[in-house]
Amino acid sequence: MTVTVRLPGALRDATGGQTKVEANGRTLADVITDIDRRHPGFRGRVLDESGRIRTYVNVYIGEDDARSKGGTDAPVPEGSEVMVIPAMAGGA
């Protein structure tokens, strides 16, 4: 299954500056592993030590928040677009 993964923000550092990459996988975990194979270190930027999506990262599969669809077990349909969006936050 081929999907497009878009990476606005700092995560492009983990893919050699690319903001859009193609990847294969049936689940979000598969897709992340596939990108990490070509861009070592990517997985650690998106997932924490326990394998969960980092708190400051939001992942959408199409219009669906991956956290509401099983987290890294979320299915990724063929042709879908995955957006990995770092949070925009701060404070005085």
**By CB under 8 A, is residue 48 in contact with other proteins?**
no
Sign of the CA dihedral with 44 first, then 73, 71, and 74 last: positive
**Minimum Å distance from CB 5 to other proteins?**
13
**Minimum Å distance from CB 33 to other proteins?**
22
Cβ neighbours, 10 Å, residue 4 = 13
Report the residue from 16, 49, 50, 92 that binds other proteins according to the rule CB under 8 A: 92
Contact partners, residue 20, CB within 8 Å, separation at least 6: 4, 5, 6, 7
Evaluate whether 1 touches 26 at the Cβ level (below 8 Å). Answer: yes
> Token pair 């599969």 is at which residue?
61
**By CB under 8 A, is residue 89 in contact with other proteins?**
yes
**By CB under 8 A, is residue 83 in contact with other proteins?**
yes
Report the residue from 1, 33, 60, 69 that binds other proteins according to the rule CB under 8 A: 60
Torsions phi, psi for 81 (to 5 deg): -105, 130
Nearer of residues 37 and 52 to other proteins, judged by Cβ: 52
Nearer of residues 37 and 41 to other proteins, judged by Cβ: 41
